[in-house]
Structure 1
Amino acid sequence: MTEKQKLNQKLWDIANNLRGKMGADEFRDYILGFIFYKYLSEKMLRYANKILAPDNMTYHSINLNTKPGQQYLEAVKENAIDDLGYFLEPGELFSTMVMRGNGNGKAKFILDDLQKVLIDIEQSTMGTDSEEDFENLFEDLDLDSSKLGKTPEDRNEIIVKVMEKLDEVDFELDNPENDVLGDAYEYLIGQFASGAGKKAGEFYTPQEVSSVLAKLVTVGKERLKNVYDPTCGSGSLLLRVAREVDEVGEYFGQESNPTTYNLCRMNMIMHDVHYSRFDIKNEDTLERPQHIDKKFEAVVANPPFSAKWSSDPLKMNDDRFSAYGKLAPKSRADFAFVQHMIHQLDDNGTMACVLPHGVLFRSGGEGTIREHIIKELNYLDAVIGLPANIFFGTSIPTCVLVLRKQRTHSEHVLFIDASEHYEKVSTQHKLRPEDISKIIETYKEYVSGNWDSEYTGELEEKYSYITNRDEIAENDYNLNIPRYVDTFEEEEVVDLQAVAQELKALDNNIQKTDEAIANYCKELGIEAPF
């Protein structure tokens, strides 16, 4: 087991052993919140010690009861706010609170002081550039919740136990080349998602699906100016994109759920993304878009499948929707999200999003929007069918749409049927590394190929097909994948003469068996059953 796997397992064991009867999705906010608090504390301690090193001092050695000590503290605070975005005094650090809570083996009451520390972290940023990134960040860490225990003492005991166990874990922050903690945080989010059922879709995209989207939007690129996710959840998809290139300049996202919004900001900071390089907003993307004046080089998303939205006729005055002639239906906002993302996509950008299969063929307003994207805008670059049952809480089959404003092959669209390429893990289907690689390599082959404008044909039999816009128009802009990728398996020819002979032989055997039974019954003096 690698060091990364050991840390993942250790943190998950702590969560499972200490959550008691509390549901995984309920305890998630506590364990992740305290891991984040420990991270902030260790980051603060290392930063302060580095500043104080030239004076042969450490953060804990500052005497706060003296004027020089207060001056040192103020100097550390000023620098920390600029560089880290927040500040913690020595007495507010995670390790200090653990020592105070552990009194001779019996938990001392620290809940009130702990609550004040969490508030102080947020308030340390007030009036600074990082204020919005830390505002209400710990609001879901409810230390007075009866779910933790019936009495304040019970709640204090469980919190002290959690903190003591986490204090034993080495987060390896001294290793700048090793994002072990960020990976562990992602791992825990995924583990909690697997136990949260349908709720998981609110905050988590399986890593394998995130990997597909991230690789698609970074084909041919080593650096991205920015990346955007309009339904960013815990931020895992944004961070996955960063793994595929050397550098991402800025991260932008919007999330309507306040708890998930907090989780996303924590996730960004835990992955050492500086507060000045991410801008995550807590609002409804379709109703109140927060980054509408910006364009993005990479856009990725896993919007809530077939969510309800206002579909207000006044939306036809909105630049995101006005050119299409129709709005997405009130009960299915899938294409509303697509329209929003197209509006935010930069001219040199690539967009990849996961949607339910119905967007490929449903008629009405969705059909009108689909036709406009293909016929008038000509942005659709690829359609990829994914296996069913790869998302937590739903078994429906899904697809990935890849859109680009400046397409390499303006007259063609690639179709990939990856629906049968997976492994079954417990009750879920999972994309294997080879399945992901096959999708990406097929897309790269399509992008780099030299296709005649009228060309249509298979790239790989029963897996991928290159069509042109004329063929799509002939299909009334229906994108249902079986119309393009022929996955039909011919049934084995049945030899009717042989079947007739088998049936005749079977009938003879039955007659002989009946005769034998009748003879046995006669010998026993009983009536035959036929």
Structure 2
Amino acid sequence: MNILQYESKIWATADLLRGSGIKESEWPSYMMPFFALTMIESRLVRMFDNLKAEIGEEAFLNINKADLYEMIKDKGQGYNIYIFEKNQTLTDICRNDKSFEIDFDAYLHGFDGETKDLLGVDATEGEKFLDIKGVISNLRAKKVLMGYTKLWSEVDLKPFNNSEITTLEEHIKRKWADISAETAGEQYTPDDVIALIAEIIASKIEESDKLLKIYDCTCGGGNLLFGVEDRINAKFKRLTQTFGQDWNDALYALAKIESRFRPDSKIEHGNTLVEDKFYNEEFDIVIANPPYGVSWKGYQKDIENDKTDRFKFLPSISDGQLLFMQHLISKLDSLGMGVVVHNGSTLFSGDAGSSESNIRKWMLDSDIVEAVIQLPTDEFFNTGIYTYLWVLNKNKKLQQKDKVMLIDASEKFKPLMKSKGSKRKEVDEISRLEIVKTLTQYQDTDYAKVFNKEFFYFNKQAIMLTNVDVYGKSFEEKLKEGKKSEKLIPTKLSNGERELNEFSITTFDADQFTSLTDAFEQDIKKFIASLDYKEQPLVISTDLAKYWFDSEKETLIKEVNGKQETLGNGRIVVKSVFKKASKTQPERIEINVELTPDYQKDYEIIPFHKDEIANKKGIVSFMTQYITKPFNYLENIVGVELNFNKVFYKQENLRSVVDILAEIDVIENELKALEARLIL
């Protein structure tokens, strides 16, 4: 029997939901608890049958209830009074419509405490997990509870093993992803991406007696975590142990239920970034597909006060991806490796000196990044963007030391015959094997490049430019040594629309303002702030001269008795300040004017060299070649970004003008011929 025959049967239950007026986006929340219920029952029944076979039919009939309970409890897979003591299942309960609701309620309450919690049998406020109680209440109100339950009771998963049930589970989760990004599918990783991640991991491990510990800090429903484990188990005889944590109630419950039917798996509920449930564990393998662009503002204080030392830098509060990255690195053992799925922002968001850039620099400084693989667009169910696999490795081979490989696998896919939500492509097996081979060989190809890690570093050199006029002069040259400005004692200030003749104002117009303070705030302060010495004909007069800025020559002008002198590029700075009354002076508005050089802070992005002396020489050489104005060096910050477009950019060959014109002539002739036929 092929278990996938039940996929269509399970999704037929949605027809009843549709007929009840339940929105399509809400279907997964109704289907998840019943699918989990069906899985649990099938596995408990199969476990019970296996137990009978182990101890023998005759011995089983003579075993007392307490011993039977202990034997089942030791299996760690759950308990149900109806299944183990009454030998009844959901199918039996659905046969009697008169007692159905009473029996169904007793059946649900017949589970062990943990199962009831995960299903949400007695859910109230707070954690509801799968919230089957709320779903039942809504179905009862729609008068379809028994009909809906009966449909699920007809899904008989008992003949299938754990691996087969997991396969069906992944198909169901994938369809949840198709329906709504707000449901369980939000964190769903496509099967082909899981297969690629597993192939990458498999290429780096060997047979051993050592237990292989695999960890996913945002495990969702467990599809990535368990999918990787199953594929590794298919290739190796090594014992594996899985660890996962997730904050989403329903997804955690699904993963927890699945974990109970696996040989060695631990799933915890909670926010990994705030409360690491495996704080004392390190792992051989870390994998994750953390949420993209999700804010961590809601638990900002907890992150800022974190005492684990796992967060070296805190990225933008609007996107926590690099928090998860730092957490995962902290969980690797001394020889551990990992594969983490991220969107493009982790490669280049944030300028030099930003937390994002500093995190990337810390990762490359630590030589933990082996490669970054760009996947095709339209690969995930709920987004069409490019996604990237970060391959982390604390046990790099000698040829990989202090190097990073970029693999542009954006064209390594097979189009799907039928799209699945936003997913229109898949990284097929041939492409997966080719990507892994390229990563293993660690040599340049037409779609992969190996770089010294410093290739991704850059200098962001800050400088203070001194702007000059058309003659190459700055007002700085007119200042006496040690002076930064020249203060003027003005007699008049004019901007072409308004004149000021008082520069220590003590009176105000009582018809317009209630006080001198009011006149300052409502008039003088705003007027002074609006002055623009470059754009307005702003003229400052003193007893001896007039000053203004000539925007064409970009210079300050000083005029004495009709004779003009260029002072060099500079600024006219006008400031106003309110002074409170003192013992010797009344309250007043003082207006000050000064001439200053025009300084401008700028930044230059300059290639980086790991040798400090060579790096300084490179900066000086760059400045000599490209900066013509006088300047002073300020701080230099080293940034890091991994830019796929820069590395793999291919210039498009433009068609010649002759070819384009010839094509236009052909089209025009065709249009004329068509027009002639219409006239005829």
Structure 1 residues 435 and 56: alpha-carbon distance in aligned structure 2, compared to 1, 3 A threshold: same
Amino acid at match of 2:437: E
Counterpart CA distance in 1 for 2:116 and 2:141 is 29
Are 2:79 and 1:87 equivalent residues in the alignment? yes
8 Å contact from structure 1 (residues 349, 405) kept in 2: yes
Match of 2:111 among 110, 114, 121: 121
Amino acid aligned to 1:244: I
- 1:281 matched to 2:260? The reply is no
Q: How does 1:408-487 map to 2 (within 5 A)?
A: 408=397, 409-422=400-413, 423-424=415-416, 425-426=418-419, 427-431=422-426, 432-446=428-442, 458-459=444-445, 461=446, 463-474=447-458, 476-484=639-647, 486-487=648-649
Residue identity opposite 1:433 in structure 2: E
Superposition pairs of residues 172-251 of structure 1, within 5 angstroms:
172-173=159-160, 179-222=163-206, 225-242=212-229, 243-245=231-233, 246=236, 247-251=238-242
Identity, in percent, stands at 22
Distance 2:429 2:341 in 1: 19
In structure 1, C-alpha distance between the alignment counterparts of 2:87 and 2:383, rounded to whole Å: 39
With normalisation by structure 1, the TM-score equals 0.79
Contact 2:7 2:171 (C-alpha < 8 Å) held by counterparts: yes
Partner of 2:562: none
Amino acid in structure 2 at the alignment position of 1:214:
A
2:359 equivalent among 361, 369, 374: 369
Deviations 1:281-315 (A, max 9, x none): 11111111111111000000000102111444963
Q: Is it true that 1:147 corresponds to 2:138 in the alignment?
A: yes
Distance of aligned partners of 1:285 and 1:313 in 2 relative to their CA distance in 1, 3 Å threshold? closer
Which of 25, 28, 33 is the equivalent residue of 1:25?
A: 28
Between the aligned partners of 1:490 and 1:512, the Cα distance in structure 2 is 34
Greater mean deviation of Cα atoms: 181-190 or 313-322: 313-322
The answer to whether the 8 A contact 2:174-2:185 is kept is no
AA matched with 1:82 = D
Q: What's the offset of the Cα at 1:108?
A: 3.2
Decide which of 118, 122, 128 is 1:137's aligned counterpart: 118
CA spacing shift, 1:111–1:37, aligned 2, 3 Å: farther
Summarize the Cα distance change of 1:50–1:481 in structure 2 as closer, same or farther, 3 Å threshold. Answer: same
CA contact (8 A) 2:282 2:333 kept: yes
Which amino acid letter does the alignment assign opposite residue 391 of structure 2?
Answer: V
Shift of 1:410: 1.1
Provide the rounded CA distance (Å) in 2 between the counterparts of 1:266 and 1:285: 19
In 1, Cα distance between the equivalents of 2:221 and 2:240? Answer: 19
Q: 1:235 offset after TM fit, Å?
A: 0.6
1:99 and 2:76 correspond: no
- Please state whether the residue corresponding to 1:329 is helix, strand or coil: coil
- Give 2:38's match in structure 1, choosing from 35, 40, 43: 35
Question: Cα gap change, 1:267/1:10 in structure 2, threshold over 3 Å: closer, same or farther?
Answer: same
5+ unaligned residues in a row in structure 1: which ranges? 59-68, 124-130, 450-457, 522-530
Instruction: Return the letter of the residue paired with 1:479.
Output: L
Aligned partners of 2:344, 2:300: CA distance in 1, in Å?
Answer: 21
* Residues 109 and 156, structure 1, Cα contact 8 Å, conserved in 2: no
Shift of 1:477: 2.0
Alpha-carbon contact 1:217-1:299 (below 8 Å) kept: no
**Partner of residue 67 from structure 2, selected from 70, 75, 78:** 75
When residues 244 and 477 of structure 1 are mapped into structure 2, their CA distance, relative to the original with a 3 A threshold, is same
**Cα distance in 1 for residues equivalent to 2:158 and 2:271:** 35
Distance in 2 of aligned mates of 1:401 and 1:362: 15
SS in 2 for 1:3: coil
Per-residue deviation at 1:264? 0.7
Change (3 A) 1:149 1:490: same
| Cα distance in 2, alignment partners of residues 186 and 510 from structure 1 | 55
Letter of the aligned partner of 1:255 in structure 2? D
Task: Give the conservation status (yes or no) of the 8 Å contact 2:285–2:332.
Answer: yes
Normalised by the length of structure 2, the TM-score is 0.62
Structure 1 residue identity aligned to 2:645: P
Shift of 1:17: 4.4
Q: Does 1:300 align with 2:287?
A: yes
Q: Secondary structure at the match of 1:351?
A: strand
**Which one is further off, 207-216 or 503-512?**
503-512
Could you list the per-position Cα deviations for residues 160-215 of structure 1 after superposition, in whole angstroms to 9, with x for gaps in the alignment? 3431x12xx35324xx6x73222112222222222223434544222122222222
CA distance in 2, matches of 1:203, 1:370: 24
Name the CA distance, whole Å, in 2 between partners of 1:478 and 1:359: 9
Q: When you count strand as a share of all residues, which structure comes out higher? A: 2
Q: In 2, are the aligned partners of 1:143 and 1:155 still within 8 Å (CA)?
A: no
After superposition, the Cα gap between the structure-2 partners of 1:198 and 1:395, relative to the gap in structure 1 and judged at 3 Å, is farther
Which residue does 1:340 correspond to in 2? Answer: 327
Q: Is the 8 A contact 1:28 1:192 kept in 2?
A: no
Deviation of 1:493 (Å): 4.4
**What SS does the corresponding residue of 2:451 show, helix, strand or coil?**
strand
- Kept in 1: contact 2:201–2:338 (CA 8 A): yes
Q: Tell me if the contact between 1:351 and 1:404 (Cα under 8 Å) persists in the aligned partners.
A: yes
Aligned length: 466
Letter in 1 for 2:293: S
Task: Supply the AA of the counterpart residue of 1:117.
Answer: Y
Q: Secondary structure, in 3 states, of the residue corresponding to 1:305?
A: coil
**Matched letter for residue 48 of structure 2:** L
Cα distance between partner residues in 1 of 2:34 and 2:349: 43
* Contact preservation (8 Å) 1:171, 1:180: no
Question: Within 1, Cα distance between the matches of 2:332 and 2:435?
Answer: 23
Aligned pairs for 1:382-401 (under 5 A) are 382-401=371-390
Indicate the residue corresponding to 1:527 in structure 2.
none
Aligned letter for 1:440?
A: V
Pair 434,502 (structure 1): closer, same or farther in 2 beyond 3 Å: closer
Using a 3 Å threshold, how does the CA distance of structure 1 residues 445 and 161 change in structure 2: closer, same or farther? same
Would the alpha carbon gap of residues 162 and 284 (structure 1) be closer, same or farther in structure 2, given more than 3 Å must change? same
Q: What is the RMSD computed on CA atoms of the aligned residues?
A: 3.2
1:405 corresponds to = 394
Check 1:30–1:504 CA distance in 2 against 1; reply closer, same or farther (3 A cut).
Answer: closer
Structure 1 distance, partners of 2:671, 2:157, is 74
Question: 1:334/1:170 Cα in 2 relative to 1: closer, same or farther (>3 Å)?
Answer: closer
Deviation at 1:122, TM superposition (A): 2.1
Q: 1:356 and 1:7, CA in 2 relative to 1: closer, same or farther beyond 3 A?
A: same
Distance 2:95 2:373 in 1: 55
Going by fraction, where is helix more abundant, 1 or 2? 1
- For 1:499-514, list aligned pairs within 5 A: 499-500=660-661
Q: Deviations over 1:91-127 (max 9, x none)?
A: 5668444224313xxx23333333333333223xxxx
Paired amino acid for 1:99:
D
**Aligned-residue offset at 1:508:** 8.2
Shift of 1:316: 6.6
Structure 2 gaps, min length 5: 121-130, 459-606, 608-638
Q: CA deviation at 1:327?
A: 0.9
